Amino acid sequence: MTAAPAQPRLVGLSRSEFADRLGEAIDVYVTAMGYPRGTAKQRRTLWLEHSYRPGWRSVAWLGERDRLLAVSYGYWGGPGQWWFDEVRRGLRSLRGSGADGGDWLADYFELTELHVHPEAQGGGLGEGLLRALLSGAERSRVLLSTPEHGPQPPGRAWRLYRRLGFSDVLREHLFTGDPRPFAVLGRELPLPAPDATRS
């Protein structure tokens, strides 16, 4: 008789633990997103820099032998950050030059990354990451960007965000230096209780 595989465990990562596991985390990111392996080098420096921003926090799922299966992190967004400035530009373009994003860009937590290794997808790990990360966000709303799904059916990430009540802030947004269209989604915090999101 063989033992059942160990159940994944959800853990918070300190800044030093995040740095120690950065190679694994970026491998999950590259694999989940289908990016070329060369993406990892560029992301390493960026992710480390992000870990020093105000309000930064990270959570992860660990599997057998403490293998990292999924990771998420974010921080408090604000003026002077690249993502904030890019989204404000998009909102101004959408609403006219006098708009600045209003409430969306005030007092928000930026959900920067959330990735589950393809071998571990479909078991609720993404929702677990999202809930754990946002439970300590200490902001009144959360914003994120995710690639548009185009004519394809929405994938797991999109279905998760919609189920948890994320609405459109910007659609078909082009970030500087990236030709792919993105959606910027947001919602007020806290998230609804888990049983309230099941239909």
Q: Write out 153-170 in H/E/C secondary structure.
A: CCCHHHHHHHHCCCEEEE
pLDDT of the residue at 197: 55
Active-site residue set: 161
Tokens of 132: 């754990």
pLDDT of the residue at 152: 87
> Rounded to two decimals, what is the model's pTM?
0.91
Tokens of 124: 């609720």
Positions in the chain whose pLDDT score sits under 50? 97-99, 199
- In order of 66, 99, 103, 160, the CA distances from 137 in angstroms are 25, 26, 17, 19
Give CA–CA dist 156/164, Å, rounded: 12
